[in-house]
Chains A and B, each alone.
Chain A
Amino acid sequence: MKLLLKGGTVVDPGGGQSGPADVLIENGVISDVLSPGAGPKDADVIDVSKMTIIPGVIDIHTHLREPGFEYKETVASGTRAAAAGGVTSVACMANTDPVNDNGQITEYILEKAETTGVVRVYPVGAVSRGLSGEVLAEIGELAAAGVCALSDDGHVISNSDLMRRGMEYAVTFDLPVISHSEDMSLVADGVMNEGFVSTELGLPANPPQAEEIMIFRDVTLAQLTGARLHVAHISTAGGVEVIRRAKERGVAVTAETCPHYFTLTDDAVRTFDTNTKVNPPLRSEEDRRAVIEGLKDGTIDVIASDHAPHDIVEKAVEFSYAASGISGLETLLSLSLQLVRDGEMTLFDVVEKLTIAPARTLGLAGGTLATGVPADLTIVDTGEDWTVDPRAFFSKGKNSPFAGRSVPGRVKMTIVAGSIVYREGAIV
């Protein structure tokens, strides 16, 4: 079966190309990217005039919540949210219940993905058993079952020796270690960024240095162990700077940030809207600028969603009691495209952070439109703006601080392995 996407503009940083082109898909893989009109006559044609064709977005930081928290999200609902957001692959974090700290849970998630999912799912295994931060999880078993990386994300590995041993063990299995970097003794009971806004609101706060200190520890341990370190959700100027220096020294470190860290500041917390409560917290304008600079100069490799869906009851409470997190899959691409709209970055560079860079970071398939690669694509109208309405999310998590915001880039179609999984507002 041949499918020809005709009349669009291809932006494929992985393949180093950008411009008007038609994409030919055969048997679920990219068979060619051709000059406009040069495709075969016997293909089924989809007219994508005025649309932009990019490799399917790869989100290496999502929480699918299954098993254990199916009321917040399931593999089925989370992958539908992904598809609606133009995301064709997700790496899902291990803080489920039970924790994904053994091969059986990994297999369970992969099985759920196979039977109920609509995009690719790559489980991330835990570093420590039960995310306790005390003893190593069965990392070999996890690797054999097919995890793509190791992380205690959602929890911090405060014990430096355990982090070291986890990194060392991970090297054997060539797995990257993803760090949620916060010095918990400095975080203490903080529920927002420490700064002028927390001073006015009187909410317990934690300083940006909590992140910076832990990133420094982790890059230092990466240097010691030779492990591949990936630092999750960078939110601070200090964190960006530590990674910049580490990269200059040749440490094998990559980093990601999330749209909320380059879109919002702690000023958004003034409303006491619990949808602005995230972990790490929204930071200052200075930090926001530094995160954008980090994206521009390559210090930050990847944009990920940190999709953290929660049930309404966990957010409709006092700020301090509310769960942390944003349901982010469906706004990931558009909030990133806002960087292009604002003239901060080129479309080419933003697409790179969402496709080939995350694929390389975790060693995943896809992220480019090279011949022979699985045909995962996102077709987006970068010129069409839309208004975020969490009630319309496919995710069970309606927790978004972006409700009502007008954003650029409407996802028109999401294709996984040559099959259309999302088209114009509907899962296919």
Chain B
Amino acid sequence: MSESVEKVWERKDLLGIRDLDIWEIELILDTAESFLEISKRDIKKVPTLRGKTVITVFYEASTRTRVSFELAAKRLSADTVNISASTSSAKKGETLIDTARNLEAMAPDAIIMRHPIPGSSDLLGRHVRSSIINAGDGAHEHPTQALLDAMTIRQVKGGIAGLNISIIGDITHSRVARSNIYCLTKLGANVTIAGPATMIPTRVEEMGVRVVRTVREAIRDADVIMMLRIQRERQGKVLFPSDRDYARFFGLNLENMEEAKDDVTIMHPGPINRGVEISPEVADGPFSVILEQVTNGVAVRMAILYLLIGKGGSDEAAA
């Protein structure tokens, strides 16, 4: 990180990676590194966000992500409230904007939202003063996932620039893929994507990635392989014929892993469909950093909360 450049974090919201500058990404990752240690303490808590209120609103069930955000907030001493919302309430006449205004009347400092529709966190950010953290908006962005992935790769590989990173699976429906493509290409990685053509979005090359037709090609020169979760609930029936067919031709298993580099790193945003996108032997094997990803997730989310709403608070975090 360059010491000479004086740049100040001024964002109100974290909506996606696309709009972040490289220095912002690096600032988040560096801040997260400094928070990592807190989670290793006996008493996993610092007073940084004491008196601040953080609300999580999840229109889609995702215990893992929600708990990760909640732990992050709690370890910084923020008060947290969880709200499970349902998009069917939208059809009952309660709009997202109404919900947001009601939430804001409770004066939270940050609202963390997951929502099935792309752009919904942008919409929210335009209508409330609280900081909005996008915890996944449909197939659009999932910025904290990409940041925790980048953090994990940095730890394992010592850096990101110049690495060959392959993302394999349903790119079309994956917010994880999009945020990672933005993040990793900004940080100088060579990103390759692969999957059935039914899951490769139109003109995706223009995002600065290489598209290959087979998983073997994607595996061959990769320093990092990122497998995506098959999201059956987001797909029509025609995107792939069966789990069996998918597992055989697009899954990661011991057989095609023979093509991989000796020091390859395997990642997955979880939860895994064991035996479909990734075989158990590979998921639990020596190259997998799936659990490190989870650990880093809490630190990255602490960093985001600190940067968005912790300014003017205690400086203990940076110590």
Residues of B within 8 A of A320 (CB): 117-118, 138
Q: Does B144 contact A (CB under 8 A)?
A: no
8 A Cβ contacts from A182-238 to B: 188, 194-196, 198-205, 207
Q: Does A319 contact B (CB under 8 A)?
A: yes
Contact assessment for B118 and A316 in the assembled complex, using a CB-CB cutoff below 8 Å: no
Contact assessment for A321 and B207 in the assembled complex, using a CB-CB cutoff below 8 Å: no
Q: Which residue of B117, B178, B236 is within 8 Å of A188 (Cβ)? A: B236
Contact assessment for B117 and A321 in the assembled complex, using a CB-CB cutoff below 8 Å: yes
Q: Does B314 contact A (CB under 8 A)?
A: no
Q: How many Å lie between the Cα of A319 and that of B207 in the bound state? A: 23
Residues of B within 8 A of A316 (CB): 95, 97
Q: Does A317 contact B (CB under 8 A)?
A: yes
Q: How many Å lie between the Cα of A205 and that of B97 in the bound state? A: 24
Q: How many Å lie between the Cα of A196 and that of B18 in the bound state? A: 14
Contact assessment for B140 and A317 in the assembled complex, using a CB-CB cutoff below 8 Å: no
Q: Does A318 contact B (CB under 8 A)?
A: yes
Contact assessment for B201 and A199 in the assembled complex, using a CB-CB cutoff below 8 Å: yes
Q: Does A313 contact B (CB under 8 A)?
A: yes
Q: Which residue of B90, B95, B96, B140 is within 8 Å of A202 (Cβ)? A: B140
Q: Does A386 contact B (CB under 8 A)?
A: no
Contact assessment for B118 and A319 in the assembled complex, using a CB-CB cutoff below 8 Å: yes
Q: How many Å lie between the Cα of A195 and that of B115 in the bound state? A: 23
Question: Considering only CB atoms, which chain B residue lies closest to A318 in the complex?
Answer: B117
Q: Does B202 contact A (CB under 8 A)?
A: yes
Closest Cβ–Cβ distance, residue A266 to chain B (whole Å): 11
Q: Given A272-B122, A272-B123, verify A196-B140 contact (CB < 8 Å).
A: no
Q: How many Å lie between the Cα of A317 and that of B98 in the bound state? A: 10
Question: Considering only CB atoms, which chain A residue lies closest to B117 in the complex?
Answer: A318
Question: Considering only CB atoms, which chain A residue lies closest to B139 in the complex?
Answer: A202
As a 0/1 sequence over residues 312 to 350 of chain A, the CB contacts with chain B under 8 angstroms (1 = contact) are 010011111100000000000000000000000000000
8 A Cβ contacts from B133-155 to A: 137-141
Q: How many Å lie between the Cα of A202 and that of B172 in the bound state? A: 7
Question: Considering only CB atoms, which chain A residue lies closest to B201 in the complex?
Answer: A199
Q: How many Å lie between the Cα of A50 and that of B34 in the bound state? A: 71
Closest Cβ–Cβ distance, residue A299 to chain B (whole Å): 26
Contact assessment for A203 and B202 in the assembled complex, using a CB-CB cutoff below 8 Å: no
Closest Cβ–Cβ distance, residue B307 to chain A (whole Å): 24
Closest Cβ–Cβ distance, residue A121 to chain B (whole Å): 33
Q: How many Å lie between the Cα of A271 and that of B120 in the bound state? A: 11
Q: Does B206 contact A (CB under 8 A)?
A: yes
Q: Which residue of A199, A203, A318 is within 8 Å of B123 (Cβ)? A: A318
Using C-beta atoms within 8 Å of the partner chain, give the interface range for chain A. 20 to 34
Q: How many Å lie between the Cα of A322 and that of B138 in the bound state? A: 15
- A-B contacts at CB below 8 angstroms, number: 68
Closest Cβ–Cβ distance, residue B144 to chain A (whole Å): 16
Residues of B within 8 A of A188 (CB): 236
Q: How many Å lie between the Cα of A18 and that of B265 in the bound state? A: 73
Question: Considering only CB atoms, which chain B residue lies closest to A271 in the complex?
Answer: B122
Residues of B within 8 A of A207 (CB): 202
Contact assessment for A203 and B95 in the assembled complex, using a CB-CB cutoff below 8 Å: no
Contact assessment for A202 and B203 in the assembled complex, using a CB-CB cutoff below 8 Å: no
Q: How many Å lie between the Cα of A103 and that of B109 in the bound state? A: 59
Closest Cβ–Cβ distance, residue A196 to chain B (whole Å): 4
Question: Considering only CB atoms, which chain A residue lies closest to B204 in the complex?
Answer: A199
Closest Cβ–Cβ distance, residue A16 to chain B (whole Å): 46
8 A Cβ contacts from B233-281 to A: 236
Closest Cβ–Cβ distance, residue B99 to chain A (whole Å): 11
Closest Cβ–Cβ distance, residue B265 to chain A (whole Å): 26
Q: How many Å lie between the Cα of A398 and that of B204 in the bound state? A: 35
Q: How many Å lie between the Cα of A45 and that of B126 in the bound state? A: 52
Residues of B within 8 A of A201 (CB): 118-119, 140
Q: Given A202-B178, A313-B95, verify A318-B207 contact (CB < 8 Å).
A: no
Q: Does B301 contact A (CB under 8 A)?
A: no
Contact assessment for A202 and B202 in the assembled complex, using a CB-CB cutoff below 8 Å: no
Contact assessment for A196 and B118 in the assembled complex, using a CB-CB cutoff below 8 Å: no
Question: Considering only CB atoms, which chain A residue lies closest to B138 in the complex?
Answer: A202
Residues of A within 8 A of B204 (CB): 199
Residues of A within 8 A of B178 (CB): 200, 202
- Which of A188, A200, A317, A320 has the largest count of B CB atoms less than 10 A from its CB? A200
Closest Cβ–Cβ distance, residue B183 to chain A (whole Å): 14
Contact assessment for A317 and B96 in the assembled complex, using a CB-CB cutoff below 8 Å: yes
Closest Cβ–Cβ distance, residue A148 to chain B (whole Å): 37
Contact assessment for A194 and B139 in the assembled complex, using a CB-CB cutoff below 8 Å: no
Contact assessment for B206 and A196 in the assembled complex, using a CB-CB cutoff below 8 Å: yes
Closest Cβ–Cβ distance, residue B19 to chain A (whole Å): 11
Q: How many Å lie between the Cα of A194 and that of B96 in the bound state? A: 26
Residues of B within 8 A of A317 (CB): 90, 95-97
Question: Considering only CB atoms, which chain A residue lies closest to B173 in the complex?
Answer: A202
Q: How many Å lie between the Cα of A188 and that of B239 in the bound state? A: 13
Question: Considering only CB atoms, which chain A residue lies closest to B95 in the complex?
Answer: A317
- Which of A196, A202, A205, A272 has the largest count of B CB atoms less than 10 A from its CB? A202
Q: Does B229 contact A (CB under 8 A)?
A: no
Closest Cβ–Cβ distance, residue A404 to chain B (whole Å): 16
Closest Cβ–Cβ distance, residue A277 to chain B (whole Å): 11
Q: How many Å lie between the Cα of A203 and that of B175 in the bound state? A: 11
Residues of A within 8 A of B120 (CB): 318-319
Contact assessment for A318 and B96 in the assembled complex, using a CB-CB cutoff below 8 Å: yes
Q: How many Å lie between the Cα of A317 and that of B122 in the bound state? A: 11
Q: How many Å lie between the Cα of A313 and that of B92 in the bound state? A: 13
Contact assessment for A319 and B119 in the assembled complex, using a CB-CB cutoff below 8 Å: yes
Residues of B within 8 A of A204 (CB): 139
Q: How many Å lie between the Cα of A313 and that of B95 in the bound state? A: 9
Contact assessment for B118 and A203 in the assembled complex, using a CB-CB cutoff below 8 Å: yes
Closest Cβ–Cβ distance, residue A68 to chain B (whole Å): 19
Residues of A within 8 A of B141 (CB): 202
Question: Considering only CB atoms, which chain A residue lies closest to B90 in the complex?
Answer: A321
Question: Considering only CB atoms, which chain A residue lies closest to B142 in the complex?
Answer: A202
- Which of A199, A313, A318 has the largest count of B CB atoms less than 10 A from its CB? A318
Contact assessment for A194 and B117 in the assembled complex, using a CB-CB cutoff below 8 Å: no
- Which of A199, A313, A319 has the largest count of B CB atoms less than 10 A from its CB? A199
Q: How many Å lie between the Cα of A196 and that of B141 in the bound state? A: 15
Q: How many Å lie between the Cα of A207 and that of B207 in the bound state? A: 19
Not counting A199-B202, A203-B119, a sample of 11 additional A-B residue pairs whose C-beta atoms are within 8 angstroms of each other reads A188-B236, A199-B172, A200-B178, A202-B139, A202-B178, A203-B140, A207-B202, A272-B119, A313-B95, A319-B119, A319-B123
Interface residues of B (CB under 8 A from A): 18, 90, 95-97, 115, 117-120, 122-123, 137-141, 172-173, 175, 178, 201-204, 206-207, 236
15 contacts between A and B (CB under 8 A): A188-B236, A198-B201, A198-B202, A199-B201, A199-B207, A200-B207, A201-B119, A272-B123, A317-B97, A318-B117, A318-B120, A318-B123, A319-B117, A319-B119, A319-B123
